[in-house]
Chain A
Amino acid sequence: MTNNAFQHGHAAGMRIHVLPTKAFKTFAISLYAGVPLEESTVTSTALVPFVLRRGTASYPETTQFRERLEELYGAGFGFDIYKRGDYQIVQFRMDTINDSFVQSKESLLGESFAFLGEVLTRPLLENGSFRASYVATERETIRKKLESIVNDKIRYAAERCIEEMCRNEPYRLHPLGQRADLDAITPETLYQSYTSWLNGATLDLYVVGDTTPEEVEKLVTAHFGRAHHSEAGGYTSDFTPVSVTEVRTVEEKLDVNQGKLNMGLRTSITYKDDRYASALMYNGILGGYPHSKLFVNVREKESLAYYASSRYDGHKGIGTIQSGIETQNYGKAVDIIRKQLDELKAGNITDLELSQTKAMIRNLLSEIQDSAFEMISFDFNRQLSGKDRSAQELMDQVDGMGTAEVKAAADTFELDTIYFLTGKEE
């Protein structure tokens, strides 16, 4: 793992991270732009990349924009918008074939940078602002995306649980923003939002592939230099743990065949904490894997569910539990799940659970190096949290965990919210 270290530098107001390797057939490029998650800007920030993907100065029509990507041997291009702690992150991704596999006249890495640089810094402008029809259509796209969350009941229940649990924090906000804010956004206001977003965002650019930091810096300077003068001071992580006073239960009725049971937990352990490895172990033993307590007790022993698992989000300091059950089994399922939480607090953990969970986490961390985008994502977590801890160090810490450390981690996890999505009475 040590031979797979990113080389870090700066260019065009961005932090540049390059990992030269011949392991892949492509160049993987990621650009992260992060701003604080705030009610006043969340919706316009979300809308910006949707409009940027419609057209640039050189490729004003969306068909031209997409044809260009196809000419670059179908270069993968996409973006995601998500929350990491109390930041709203826009991540652009490109995945371009290494020229050596095709007979290309142009340098595909160079052309990809030219493309991405243009998307970010030279959008299509009409009368000094975004094209009105693009803004109008993409506003509708976001509206429909927000409205359609309810179509996927598993995802809907997970998001509702977080929304209820964090109702007094920015984290309640959806990364795509709020429907009510959409109508007020005009091409002019959005262009202003774009400029302040670009100047205010912390930008991290990653490349993994058969290249060098020197080549990347040259390309960045050539293609990103026009508009960006970052005023961002990087990420700060002033985390204040939220303490739980009582467990809150929220029930919602919708037309569903299966009830969705979700729970939210709070912990004081976050990514940058030295106890992070113990929280990973806690989550692994509780519900991260098919050998975990939730899967074994809710599914295998009681046949109550097809899925029963837990997740731990170290950037926000929360844990979540999710399962799909018959609505009349609600009480039974809640009891069994709470029993597992109590077992962990009591330190009732077998040596086998410990060793199996360690092996699974070790595997997960080792596998990161076989995927360019996973490596990028892992390194970005380090940038975001300010915690410089390699996968190898984390693995060593996990290996050293005993029951006492996991029990100590369990003491920091408190059940906060129980959310149940249930069927409507006939």
Chain B
Amino acid sequence: MEKLHYERLQETLYHEVMDNGLQVYVLPKPAFLKTYATFTTKYGSVDNHFKVAGSEETTVPDGIAHFLEHKMFEEPEGDIFATFASNGASANAFTSFDQTVYLFSATENIEQNLSTLVDFVQRPYFTDENVEKEKGIIGQEINMYADNPDWRVYFGLIEAMYATHPVHIDIAGTIESIATITKETLYTCYNSFYHPSNMLLFVVGGVDPEQVFELIRSNQQGKSYEKQGEITRIFAEEPEQVASKHVESRLAVSIPKMMFGFKEKVDGLSGEAAVRRDLTTKLMLDLLFGSSTALYQKLYDEELISDSFGHEFNSSAEYAFSAIGGDTKDPGLLLERIKAEVGRILETGFAEKDFERARKKKIGGFLRMLNSPESIAHEFTRYQFRGGDLFEVLPLYESITLDEVNARLHDHVNWEQLAVSLVVSP
């Protein structure tokens, strides 16, 4: 058991790698009654073409990672939700571009609930019948998102940017793509990506670390796993430029929704360099578009943006893009105004005092995040899968310089790389 103490954060993290390769982290929060645990595989919607050393290269239907997530909850003896409920645990799961996360939160029967979590994810049970049944449920989930303008405008932007990279494929797939999913394809994906060496268990809350490790050790020793070969994810070459500069979809909305963003060149960054790039970019976007900026206020007073206006930066080793926007009565005018104002900032760069203030805000936001066991578990796992360390974010923020942020501004804001997505009323 490895012990990592972060003095400034007043947090101590415990870590151990199981013999089969499973990474286990425990963050005790003695003042907390509840325990929150996530069991995550580094496998998401983008992993649709892959090869595991010793097996054949495989392409699988769109939406299968998410479908698999749904199907994991079914056991020969019924729904695993019932087992969690009997032990007072609230369980859930979600699938993103590059992860599938299974989780529970509970205040009692922690050891039992931890065993349930690890066991159900390590015990696939797919039948022709239960796979067919799920298609109706996921079909309704897809329809629900189809009616959601925020999701449509966001995904429209990614579709506009990416021609071949599967990040542009909706996480749930389509009614047509999931129709082709069978129990065999599910097992193929399961066997490729749910090996313990591709997974991470994070436990945070009122727990004793040694007890957790002991429980997981004996749980894992009771299961036999062959050593797994390396997973190679195969991505077709993605053009540097955006696939389409402008996309539009139609949905009954009271006011148009617009998102725009810049597609970056693939740089293959990982580890601390990737984390630093991400933090610097987020600082930069906040200095450009944050709600305390003169630009934001001007656009708000011109009634071109509303409280819904926001920004984010999304990146992996194979893609990186910003997504900026919200509701606007005049997408064309808003974009024109932004181009003009951002153009001016590109000439001057950011001011030192604004940079210092934005940095303080980010540091405060990071510390506030540490009140939430859910956020800690999700963020820690995300950082870990990229080779970074969530608990080193504070010194990283402190070491970022104004020059770096200004350089990032010029790097990122490249009008040639701009894509725009709109949702407007039919």
Contacts and interface: CB of A to CB of B under 8 A. Distances in A.
Most chain-B Cβ atoms within 10 A of its Cβ — which of A73, A153, A325, A366? A73
Contacts of B133: 303
A256 B134 CA distance: 22
A23 interface: yes
B362 interface: yes
B371 A151 contact: no
Given A150-B254, A306-B137, A324-B144, A23 B31 contact: yes
B108 A362 contact: yes
Interface string B284-301: 000000011110010011
Interface string B13-27: 000000000000000
A62 B138 contact: no
B383 to A, nearest CB: 19
A370 B30 CA distance: 11
B119 interface: no
A328 interface: no
A154 interface: yes
A382 B362 CA distance: 35
Most chain-B Cβ atoms within 10 A of its Cβ — which of A74, A76, A152, A254? A74
A148 B150 CA distance: 12
Contacts of A357: 85
Interface string B137-151: 110110110111110
Contacts of A71: 357, 360
Contact of B363 (A74, A325, A371): A74
Nearest to B30: A23
B34 to A, nearest CB: 5
Contacts of B291: 66
A167 B52 CA distance: 61
Interface in A246-276: 254-258
A70 interface: yes
Interface in A112-152: 133, 137, 140-141, 144-145, 147-148, 150-152
Nearest to B107: A366
Interface string A293-312: 00110011001111100000
Nearest to B257: A151
A396 to B, nearest CB: 15
A23 B293 CA distance: 34
Contacts of A255: 251-252, 426
Interface stretch (B87-95, B186-194, B268-276): B87-95
Contact of B367 (A63, A102, A145): A102
A306 B79 contact: no
Most chain-A Cβ atoms within 10 A of its Cβ — which of B32, B106, B134, B147? B147
Nearest to B298: A63
B300 A21 contact: no
Given A70-B357, A258-B146, A304-B140, A352 B303 contact: no
A25 B367 contact: yes
A166 interface: no
A291 to B, nearest CB: 4
Given A147-B254, A356-B85, A304 B360 contact: no
B156 interface: no
A325 B81 contact: no
B253 interface: yes
B87 A359 contact: yes
A289 interface: yes
B362 A74 contact: yes
Contacts of B91: 290
B144 A63 contact: no
Contacts of B229: none
B292 A70 contact: yes
Contact of A66 (B32, B292, B306, B327): B292
B141 A306 contact: yes
A359 B82 CA distance: 11
A416 interface: no
B215 interface: no
B358 interface: yes
Contact of B147 (A22, A258, A355, A367): A258
A360 interface: yes
Nearest to A67: B292
Task: Indicate the size class of the contact surface on chain B.
Answer: 35 or more
A258 B362 contact: no
Most chain-B Cβ atoms within 10 A of its Cβ — which of A25, A67, A307? A25
Contacts of A147: 254-255
B86 A63 contact: no
B297 A62 contact: yes
Contacts of B370: 25
A276 B151 CA distance: 38
B373 A370 contact: yes
B252 A63 contact: no
B102 to A, nearest CB: 13
Given A73-B363, A255-B426, A306-B138, A363 B106 contact: yes
Contacts of A144: 254-255, 306, 327
A76 B291 CA distance: 13
Given A141-B306, A370-B34, A291 B85 contact: yes
A63 B303 CA distance: 16
Contact of A70 (B86, B254, B360): B360
B343 interface: no
B137 A299 contact: yes
Contacts of A352: 82, 86
Contacts of B205: 370
B45 interface: no
Given A257-B146, A359-B85, A73 B367 contact: yes
Nearest to B308: A148
Nearest to A302: B136
Contacts of A22: 31
Contacts of B367: 25-26, 73, 97, 101-102
Given A102-B363, A144-B327, A360-B90, A367 B107 contact: yes
A290 B140 contact: no
A372 interface: yes
A24 interface: yes
Interface string B363-380: 111011011010000000
21 contacts: A21-B31, A26-B368, A69-B361, A74-B362, A95-B368, A137-B300, A141-B307, A148-B327, A151-B150, A154-B144, A254-B252, A255-B251, A255-B426, A256-B252, A289-B81, A296-B79, A303-B137, A355-B86, A359-B86, A360-B90, A370-B33
Given A291-B81, A363-B106, 14 more contacts: A24-B371, A69-B292, A70-B292, A74-B363, A97-B367, A133-B301, A140-B303, A150-B252, A289-B81, A291-B79, A303-B136, A306-B140, A307-B144, A357-B85
Q: List the 9 closest A-B pairs by CB distance, nearest first.
A: A303-B136, A73-B364, A74-B361, A359-B88, A74-B364, A66-B292, A23-B31, A366-B107, A356-B85
